[in-house]
């Protein structure tokens, strides 16, 4: 996420490293580089200029007696300003309606249908809501089918009516059904066009007026940079929407949209989309995003994700198995599934401070575990539960079956063995033993 921008800002802020003092000259030099980095990330010229002026003012006006080094001070100032520019506080979603009506708006392909599903899934799992999805795209039958597929994936009901070509009537009928069936949130997915046009604007405006949503969300593809900001302006003029959803932040986006959109439309970014899967949704936290952009990682989000996926019941079972020496490859597979649910590895790595920079250029597969999984899947159930039974001929068969080579199979077995030993030690008063083993 924002690799280029992070790298350039890092270089810009490096200018001050080693300088004992903040001076007008080194601040000017740094802010010039910061501005260039922002412009390269497709941040609007005016916003970039205002931003660096503020940073300059703060840096020169700051108390020289601070305990921070000039380099650190500058990083802090840039971080605070980036946070403010992206909205300052985290903004939640207003769920006060009975039912709460959420209207999705945005161009075709921005990710509205995908996000409608992600939001329904998020509200269901994290806020214990019972949402209904409503398909209001009357132009593309495939769009209605797509919402049904999404609803099926997350087990959320979808209301649609292919016979009806009036989106206002469909939205209203969806709300009636939600009330009758006790759904407490109605998420209305609408049609988009490839570009802003009058007919689409009139249609979304009519739906908006008729159903009076508590939340009107504008969905935009972050990859479109400055265009994202212009489209946001056009939609906001008509809808006065409540929040922005930035999608496709997992891609190679330059970051301009994330940084500029709030200050242009004065509406908060509420969520971000970071992948095609239903779980790839994050609440947008301006300060955490600023930290990620500055290569400081985002440990809080990482821990939160781990906590969300942590299954206590499962953990207890595993503990028992370890104690009885029964931890096998099936349990190992389950652990891998849990890690995978946290997100793709690249994204997770980006949350570890400094890791983004260290890993730059490395080609990390989105599915880093697929080879390990293939090997385990080629084992028989009894081999999985009793790894010690894996003799040379079995290993050969497994290698062949998984399309990996024998060294990889051996390596996995070795790692598994080490891991099992370590887990066993951690269990039984092993902290001390482990320290001994590590030579302390
Ligand atoms: P709509 O026309 O606005 O409803 O857009 P869709 O929901 O159909 O999304 C368009 C394409 O973008 C689909 O192929 C989605 O899988 C993809 N997409 C949506 N959100 C994301 C995201 O956050 N990351 C990535 N990588 N792809 C996304």
Residue 306 covered by a domain = no
Domain total of the chain: 3
Residue 246 sits in the same domain as residue 375: no
Residue 94 covered by a domain = no
What is the domain extent for residue 123? 100-296
What pLDDT, on the 0 to 100 scale, is given for residue 288?
Answer: 87
Residue 262 sits in the same domain as residue 388: no
Residue 92 covered by a domain = no
- Euclidean distance between CA atoms 440 and 431, whole angstroms: 11
78 in Cβ contact with 294 (< 8 Å) = yes
Whose alpha carbon is nearest atom 10 of ligand 1?
Answer: 109
What pLDDT, on the 0 to 100 scale, is given for residue 421?
Answer: 78
- Euclidean distance between CA atoms 235 and 212, whole angstroms: 16
- Euclidean distance between CA atoms 370 and 175, whole angstroms: 43
Residue 67 sits in the same domain as residue 123: no
Residue 54 sits in the same domain as residue 133: no
pLDDT tens digits along 368-399: 688 889 999 999 999 998 888 999 999 999 99
138 in Cβ contact with 207 (< 8 Å) = no
Check which CATH number belongs to the domain holding 315 and give it: 1.10.260.30
Using DSSP's 3-state secondary structure scheme, residue 194 falls into coil
Residue 159 sits in the same domain as residue 113: yes
Residue 144 covered by a domain = yes
Residue 303 covered by a domain = no
- Euclidean distance between CA atoms 298 and 248, whole angstroms: 18
Residue 429 covered by a domain = yes
Q: What is the ipTM of this complex?
A: 0.99
Residues at the binding site are 106-113, 189-193, 247-250
Whose alpha carbon is nearest atom 2 of ligand 1?
Answer: 109
Distance 271 CA to ligand 1 centre (A): 14
Whose alpha carbon is nearest atom 9 of ligand 1?
Answer: 111
Q: Report the predicted TM-score, pTM, of the whole model to 2 decimal places.
A: 0.75
Dihedral sign for Cα 220, 222, 223, 224, please. Answer: positive
What pLDDT, on the 0 to 100 scale, is given for residue 440?
Answer: 39
Check which CATH number belongs to the domain holding 24 and give it: 1.20.120.140
Best substitution site from 122, 273, 276 to test ligand 1's pocket, by max atoms within 8 Å of Cβ? 276
Mean pLDDT computed over 340-352: 72
Distance 246 CA to ligand 1 centre (A): 11
Domain boundary residue among 240, 267, 296?
A: 296
Q: For ligand 1, is residue 110 a contact (CB within 6 Å)?
A: yes
Dihedral sign for Cα 187, 192, 196, 202, please. Answer: negative
Mean pLDDT computed over 130-154: 93
Check which CATH number belongs to the domain holding 137 and give it: 3.40.50.300
* CA neighbor of 13 nearest in space, from 60, 48, 42, 55: 55
Residue 287 sits in the same domain as residue 344: no
What pLDDT, on the 0 to 100 scale, is given for residue 439?
Answer: 44
> Which region among 64-78, 228-242, 263-277, 423-437 has the lowest average model confidence (pLDDT)?
423-437
Distance 223 CA to ligand 1 centre (A): 11
Q: For ligand 1, is residue 278 a contact (CB within 6 Å)?
A: no
- Euclidean distance between CA atoms 238 and 241, whole angstroms: 8
């Amino acid at each position: 996420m924002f690799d280029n921008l992070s790298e350039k800002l890092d270089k810009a802020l490096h200018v001050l490293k080693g300088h004992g003092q903040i001076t007008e000259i080194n601040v000017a030099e740094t802010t010039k580089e910061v501005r260039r980095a922002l412009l390269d990330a497709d941040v609007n010229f005016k916003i970039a200029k205002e931003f660096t002026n503020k940073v300059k003012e703060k840096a020169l006006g700051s108390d020289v007696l601070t305990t921070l080094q000039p380099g650190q001070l500058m990083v802090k100032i840039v971080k605070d300003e980036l946070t403010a520019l992206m909205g300052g506080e985290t903004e939640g979603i207003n769920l006060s309606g009975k039912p709460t009506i959420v209207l999705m708006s945005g161009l075709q392909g921005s990710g509205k249908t995908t996000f409608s599903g992600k939001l329904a899934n998020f509200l269901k799992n994290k806020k214990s809501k019972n949402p209904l999805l409503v398909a209001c795209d009357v132009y593309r039958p495939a769009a209605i089918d797509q919402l049904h597929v999404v609803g099926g994936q997350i087990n959320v009901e979808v209301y649609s009516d292919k016979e009806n070509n009036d989106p206002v009537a469909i939205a209203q009928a969806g709300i009636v059904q939600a009330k009758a069936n006790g759904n407490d949130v109605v998420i209305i997915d609408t049609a988009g066009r490839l570009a802003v046009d009058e007919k689409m604007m009139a249609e979304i405006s009519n739906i908006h007026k008729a159903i009076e949503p508590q939340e009107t969300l504008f969905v935009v593809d972050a990859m479109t940079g400055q265009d994202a900001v212009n489209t946001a302006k056009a939609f906001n003029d008509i809808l006065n929407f409540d929040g922005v959803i930035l999608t496709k932040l997992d891609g190679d986006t330059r970051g301009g949209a994330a940084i500029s959109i709030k200050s242009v439309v004065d509406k908060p970014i509420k969520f971000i989309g970071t992948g095609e899967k239903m779980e790839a949704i994050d609440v947008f936290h301006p300060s955490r995003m600023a930290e990620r952009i500055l290569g400081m990682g985002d440990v809080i989000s990482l821990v939160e994700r781990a906590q969300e996926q942590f299954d206590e019941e499962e953990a207890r079972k595993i503990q028992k198995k370890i104690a009885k020496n029964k931890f096998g490859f099936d349990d190992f597979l389950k652990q891998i599934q849990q890690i995978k649910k946290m997100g793709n590895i690249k994204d997770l790595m980006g949350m570890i401070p400094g890791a983004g920079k260290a890993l730059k250029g490395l080609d990390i597969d989105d599915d880093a575990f697929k080879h390990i999984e293939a090997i385990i899947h080629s084992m028989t159930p009894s081999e999985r539960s009793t790894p010690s039974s894996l003799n040379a001929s079995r290993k050969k068969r497994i290698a062949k079956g998984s399309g990996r080579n024998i060294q990889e199979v051996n390596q996995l077995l070795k790692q598994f063995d080490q891991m099992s030993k370590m887990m066993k030690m951690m269990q039984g008063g092993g902290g001390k033993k482990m320290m001994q083993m590590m030579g302390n």
